[in-house]
Homo-oligomer: A and B are copies of this chain.
Amino acid sequence: MPGSLVYVGEKRTQSVKLQLMDFTETDLTEKLLDRPEDCLAFKDSGSVSWINVTGIHDVEIVKKIGELFGIHALILEDILNSGQRPKLEEAEDYLFLVIKMLYVKPRESRITSEQVSVIIGQNYVLSFQEQEMDVFDPVRDRIRKTVPRVRFSNTDYLAYALIDAVVDHYFAIVEHLGDRVEEMEERLVVRPSTEDLQSIHELKRELIFMRKAVFPLREVIGNLERTESSLVHRSTRIYLRDLYEHTIQVIDTVETLRDTVSGLLDIYLSSVSNRMNEVMKVLTIIATIFIPLSFLAGVYGMNFDTSASPLNMPELHFPYGYIMFWVIALMVGFGLLWSFKRKRWL
């Protein structure tokens, strides 16, 4: 049912955390809020309030915040449904952004994505993340340290800083993938193994996954830069433009990696087939040399009655018969070897 609030995502049990940073150019209040209602005091203050909600599995809390800040039910639904594409929606008195935080889980090397939703109001910024990540810590540090906080006095710059933190992390992910591609590349040439095929397939899938998260972000940031909403100030646009370029850089690198990975498959298949060919060559050479020789040996193992006629296998009685057999056998063998050499099969 549209507008009905249901959490869609991984099951989680941690308690939800509400982190508040409320600041003006000079003052700063930081605290952990116990209840969503505590936000209210900061909503219409002159200061900029950033409320970061960690954990969206508690539908009631998100709903309460939604009510307090007058957020449309459909947007709350999007916040709770962690399968959104990155997007920008403009309501009358706030902007709503969905972006994807990507990270590599330490144990496994798989890329996972977390949905980050940001609501930019006149003097508040709400950010929702699925679980605690330290990606916003540098932003907190900068707010604490930059005094006077001239730029941060606008919520749009704060929002930019949050998105920028996420996009900056993309570069780390891209580098991680790039390293894996390069490593694979070197391994493939030296010694391709059956598992490599699956690794290539996985790399491909992760690049598709990454692309899906980053590609729509380009348009989102582009739209945010060009929006007519008064919430985005002229002075912030140059930062958004910069962010836009960064996003394109990430996309570019992802595309390049995809091209490279496609090439890896060719190398793998070709390496495998090269090894196979080597095996076949050895079989051919051994078989080709010994099959005629075996025939010759078979001939002189025949039991034709040499006493019935002098035409029956007189070679058997030649004094040098056996030696001539070996001479012929070695000549045939080395002759074939030489002809293989000449054909460059060896």
Known: A292-B286, A316-B303, A322-B304. A263 touches B204 (CB 8 A): yes
User: Which A residues, 222 to 272, have Cβ-Cβ distances below 8 Å to chain B?
Assistant: 238-239, 241-242, 245, 248-249, 252, 256, 259-260, 263, 265-272
* Choice from B256, B277, B319 contacting A208 with Cβ under 8 Å: B256
For the complex, give the distance between the alpha carbons of A311 and B344 in Å. 38
For the complex, give the distance between the alpha carbons of A300 and B297 in Å. 8
Q: Are A322 and B317 in contact (CB under 8 A)?
A: no
Measured CB to CB, the residues of A under 8 A from B are 1-2, 72, 74, 77-78, 83-85, 87, 89, 138, 142, 160-161, 164, 189, 191, 194, 197-198, 201, 204-205, 208-209, 212, 238-239, 241-242, 245, 248-249, 252, 256, 259-260, 263, 265-284, 286-288, 290-295, 297-306, 308-309, 311-313, 315-323, 325, 343-345
A72, A87, A301, most chain B CB atoms within 10 A: A301
Q: Are A266 and B197 in contact (CB under 8 A)?
A: yes
For the complex, give the distance between the alpha carbons of A325 and B311 in Å. 12
Number of copies: 5
For the complex, give the distance between the alpha carbons of A115 and B276 in Å. 45
For the complex, give the distance between the alpha carbons of A270 and B87 in Å. 39
Q: Are A279 and B319 in contact (CB under 8 A)?
A: no
Smallest distance from the beta carbon of A236 to chain B beta carbons, Å?
11
Q: Are B301 and A198 in contact (CB under 8 A)?
A: no
Q: Are B304 and A321 in contact (CB under 8 A)?
A: yes
For the complex, give the distance between the alpha carbons of A337 and B271 in Å. 23
Known: A302-B297, A302-B325, A323-B311. A266 touches B263 (CB 8 A): no
Q: Note all chain B residues with C-beta closer than 8 A to A322.
A: 302, 304, 309, 311-313
Closest chain B residue to A74, Cβ basis: B242
- SS of A interface (majority): helix
Known: A72-B238, A274-B194, A295-B293. A305 touches B321 (CB 8 A): yes
For the complex, give the distance between the alpha carbons of A312 and B267 in Å. 55
Closest chain B residue to A271, Cβ basis: B197
For the complex, give the distance between the alpha carbons of A309 and B319 in Å. 5
Q: Note all chain B residues with C-beta closer than 8 A to A315.
A: 304
Interface pairs A-B: 9 shortest CB-CB: A297-B298, A309-B319, A300-B302, A301-B301, A283-B284, A312-B322, A305-B317, A308-B317, A290-B291
Q: Note all chain B residues with C-beta closer than 8 A to A298.
A: 294, 297-298, 301
Smallest distance from the beta carbon of A337 to chain B beta carbons, Å?
13
A191, A292, A305, most chain B CB atoms within 10 A: A305
Q: Are A201 and B267 in contact (CB under 8 A)?
A: yes
Q: Note all chain B residues with C-beta closer than 8 A to A306.
A: 305
For the complex, give the distance between the alpha carbons of A317 and B311 in Å. 11
For the complex, give the distance between the alpha carbons of A218 and B132 in Å. 35
20 further interface pairs, Cβ-Cβ under 8 Å (given A204-B263, A312-B321): A84-B249, A85-B249, A89-B241, A197-B271, A201-B263, A201-B267, A205-B263, A209-B256, A265-B266, A279-B345, A286-B288, A286-B291, A290-B291, A290-B294, A291-B291, A294-B294, A300-B302, A302-B325, A305-B316, A309-B319
